[in-house]
Structure 1
Amino acid sequence: MKRIEFIKTTALATAGLPLLSGFRIPMDQDLIPKALLMGYANDQLVGTDYQLERQTWSTFEKMSAAAAADGIQIEVASAFRSYDRQLAIWSGKYDRFTKAGMSPLAAMEKIIEYSTIPGTSRHHWGTDIDLIDGGASPRPKSVLEPQHFHGKGPFCKFKEWMDAHAESFGFFEVYTNNAKRKGFKYEPWHFSYKPVSQNYLAAYLKLDIKSELERLEIPGSKHMDVQFIEKYLQDNISDINPDLLP
């Protein structure tokens, strides 16, 4: 057995998971707290330098070890992100774009090319993670750019490894390079731990998100009419890698 095959098999056996990309951890979706799903509070997190949902963290550590055995140093660019942190990101961009002369609606449309409305980020769950090659040289100043992961980009070897092995650990690319896909632009760095996130998404889609967004004090929220919110939920939340849908 090749080393990488041995590591993957051992890692998943240790984690109690079969070597199946379609595996889903049994979970009562009705018991998943709204506070967790919307980033207000999450008691399922572990980690110090970065935080992830418990099972996600455990399996990610094993995947990182397997990558390291193949000479790939997986580095976390972003993991769990709270509602407050997402609000700060949103507010900063909204302020910058509107001060540059954009209308509130145009500013929000620009923001949601890559950033989520607070309370709607998959990073709130602790199952989603932005990854790069920590051993790449030279290191680009702005690491989360699609061109770095293709052609002669510094992260192309990392991308090749993830394409070949990530799904066997349960990690799937969320915003794929599919011209027919709507919503957020292509993010070759963003992966989600399917065995848990699939349950979280199913529970999230049962929430009355429109009502939640209406009551939150988010910059630009008074310009989020029903049409804007419904389109956002359809395109940005639901139009993702179909393998991750409930």
Structure 2
Amino acid sequence: MKRRTFIKSATATAIALGTVPAGVFASPRYSYDELIGKGDPELFGEGINLRRKAWEAFLKMKNDAAKEGLDIKIVSGYRDFYHQKRIWERKYERYTRDGLTPEQAIAKIIEYSTIPGTSRHHWATDIDIIDGAASYSGDVLEADKFHGDGPFRPLKEWLDENVTKYGFYMVYTDKPGRKGFKYEPWHYSYAPVSIPMLREYEKLGIKKIITAEKVAGASHFTDAFIAKYKNENVLDINPELIP
């Protein structure tokens, strides 16, 4: 049973993160298991599931947004390796059953979903968020819901103006020419922790991770595919989140 620490009352410590001092990014050591989602991180916040600093910053952001009538709701926080593996294998099975080749199925999955062991959600620093106060239907994680007449447009506009004050940055932006995962206006990362974790993660070697951790379709992960996946899906992200 994985350990969970749920803190149900708001912290009394005020967090002002308008700028993040360089020293915040001093790189601690993280284990292999922790970096690929098989560790046992101490998680905070019932229904939030983040590392302490990320949780505290999120609470500050959530409370400030509430003053503007917005209810920042996390629909996905920490996901362990096994959760990500279930997502991956469910999609792989469905796509191949529907007639796609293994290579086509993998290409379709990695439009939005990561190979188990490579998800930023393994770090308990990243969140997928919506406005819980808005009226909506269907799949909430759709880009058009955050623009135009979409129900989450007011939240997106507030985040564009304020989110970096709390140390969070959008991961998969709509910057022209960016490759890898498609645009996700709902996915944010707590930089003071995720940057040093990415630095440590890179030292592990993507090839080692995704070949050692057996998942459906792994026999089709060629060297060329792995190199492309690393450069585009793992590292072609918001430059503010690169070590």
TM-score by length of 2: 0.92
Q: CA deviation at 1:18?
A: 4.5
Specify which of 72, 82, 85 is matched with residue 83 of structure 2.
85
Q: Is this contact kept in 2: 1:24–1:198, CA < 8 A?
A: no
Matches within 5 A, 1:178-217: 178-217=175-214
Distance 1:34 1:142, change over 3 A: same
Distance 1:175 1:24 in 2: 25
Residue 28 (str. 1) matches residue 55 (str. 2):
no
Identical counterparts, % of pairs: 44
* Amino acid of the structure 1 residue aligned with 2:141: L
Identify the residue that residue 69 of structure 2 maps to in structure 1.
71
SS at match of 1:14: coil
TM-score by length of 1: 0.90
Residue 120 (str. 1) matches residue 118 (str. 2):
yes
Q: Is this contact kept in 2: 1:182–1:235, CA < 8 A?
A: yes
Q: CA deviation at 1:144?
A: 0.1
Q: Is this contact kept in 2: 1:132–1:189, CA < 8 A?
A: yes
Q: CA deviation at 1:27?
A: 3.3
Identify the residue that residue 6 of structure 2 maps to in structure 1.
none
Distance 2:25 2:242 in 1: 15
Identify the residue that residue 3 of structure 2 maps to in structure 1.
none
* Amino acid of the structure 2 residue aligned with 1:14: A
Residue 240 (str. 1) matches residue 237 (str. 2):
yes
Matches within 5 A, 1:134-153: 134-137=132-135, 139-153=136-150
SS at match of 1:206: helix
Q: CA deviation at 1:127?
A: 0.3
Distance 1:181 1:26, change over 3 A: closer
Q: CA deviation at 1:209?
A: 2.0
Distance 1:120 1:25 in 2: 24
Q: Is this contact kept in 2: 1:108–1:220, CA < 8 A?
A: yes
What is the number of equivalent residue pairs in this alignment? 233
Identify the residue that residue 57 of structure 1 maps to in structure 2.
55
Q: Is this contact kept in 2: 1:36–1:42, CA < 8 A?
A: yes
Q: Is this contact kept in 1: 2:18–2:164, CA < 8 A?
A: no
Unaligned runs of 5+ in 2: 1-10
